[in-house]
Amino acid sequence: MADETSAPTLHALSIAEVDRPSSQLAKFGVDDPLRLDSGKSIAPWQIAYETYGELNADKSNAVLICHALTGDQYVASNNPVTGKPGWWERMVGPGRPIDTDKYFVLCANVLGGCLGTTGPASINPATGKAYAVSMPVVTIRDMVRAQAKLVDRFGIDTLFAVVGGSMGGMQVLQWAASYPERVFAAVPIATGARHSSQNIAFHEVGRQAIMADPDWCEGSYIAEDKRPLKGLAVARMAAHITYMSDSSLHQKFGRNLQDREDLTFGFDADFQIESYLRHQGMTFVDRFDANSYLYVTRAMDYFDLAAEFGSLPLAFTGTTTRFCVMSFTSDWLFPTSESRNIVKALNAAAANVSFVEVDSDRGHDAFLLDVPEMFSTIRGFITGAARARGIPAPGGAN
């Protein structure tokens, strides 16, 4: 029998990635602090990232991909913790709509994350222990500030495109609002210009599940050598429901029983959907940090471009960025009405904007799945933007 202790567990791999990631790493010293919306600063700090393709001579072909809530920098390469393929390999890669044969693609782990960028699981150099909840709360704008410093390291003045879905879409909008002169094209997908009260409510349920777990230890579970597994699993289960549509749940599971002929009249997982959610919860805890979940959900909750600029049209006044806004018909987490509000604001600001509502029954997660209309739309938009930019179009474009 093989020695079961010879291979590190997923959790051990995940912990190893917090401060010393397998990906590339940019470090910023005490002389280059990251100033936050809270009025506080972090220094030293670091940001973990992956790159694909080659940066051209005039640095005009750079595409920044922004990941969603529990995503990471491994957009088109295997995740070192799970071993799974990149989360958007259908979109990013050779000959794909975001073609790595033509573009230099950059994707960074967000501030507050747990795969190499400074977050609550990172070691606080002042104490030698994990920050835990002593780390200042961060915002979407803080995440984008960190990314901008990384882009500066490459000497890139203007990004050809910034692309992302869900929380990644929030980052896209923040980039376009905060750095309009640095974003040639923007593709916010399945997102909103602010987090709705319903979405804040779902996040609060998840956070309370984590904090109610006795092994959370007021956030200091790493120092106590404990893990709030049950709380984080429940948080993931609740969130996962919001990523799917009623139709997709019904098609996939219906009321089918799980490995049994009849009801047990107990509280085991009688139904397939129960078993599926439990599996989602328990696999998630091995790759994600509980405090990071608190921080990134809070960042989404605080996001509100209209409040930041006075009104949503004012956030985009005078912009020359080209926008392609996309929603999905069955997405009830970020419904099409949220995207239409963005488009109305862009129109009011006389921006160059196109809008597509993709017919899909896959719910919010459709942007991560095989949805041909999404791919063809983005390929078409990137093709037009590339021609306007004077750089090659994606492979296979007409």
Two structure tokens written together for 16: 């190893």
**Type and span of the H or E element at 177:** helix 167-178
**Total number of residues shown for the chain:** 398
Two structure tokens written together for 155: 């000497």
Q: Which residues contact 367 (CB under 8 A, 6 or more apart)?
A: 165, 166, 189, 190, 326, 328, 374
DSSP state letters, 364-378: GGGGGS--HHHHHHH
Question: Tokens 């150099």 belong to which residue?
Answer: 125
Q: Which residues contact 323 (CB under 8 A, 6 or more apart)?
A: 176, 185, 186, 187, 188, 346, 351, 352, 353, 354
Catalytic residue (choose from 203, 331, 339, 360): 331
Catalytic residue (choose from 67, 195, 203, 364): 364
364 included as an active-site residue: yes
Upper half-sphere CA count for residue 307 (Cβ side, 13 Å): 8
Catalytic residue (choose from 166, 178, 292, 330): 166
23 included as an active-site residue: no
Q: How many helices (H) and strands (E) does the chain have?
A: 12, 14
Beta strands 41-42 and 34-35, pairing class:
antiparallel
Under 8 Å between Cβ of 34 and 26: no
279 included as an active-site residue: no
Strand runs labelled E in 242-347: 322-328
What dihedral angle (degrees, nearest 10) is formed by the CA atoms of 334, 336, 339, 343?
Answer: -170
DSSP state of 194: B
CA angle at 373 for the pair 372 and 376, rounded to the nearest 5°: 85
Q: Which residues contact 228 (CB under 8 A, 6 or more apart)?
A: 210, 213, 214, 215, 216, 217, 221, 290
- Catalytically active residues, by annotation: 166, 331, 364
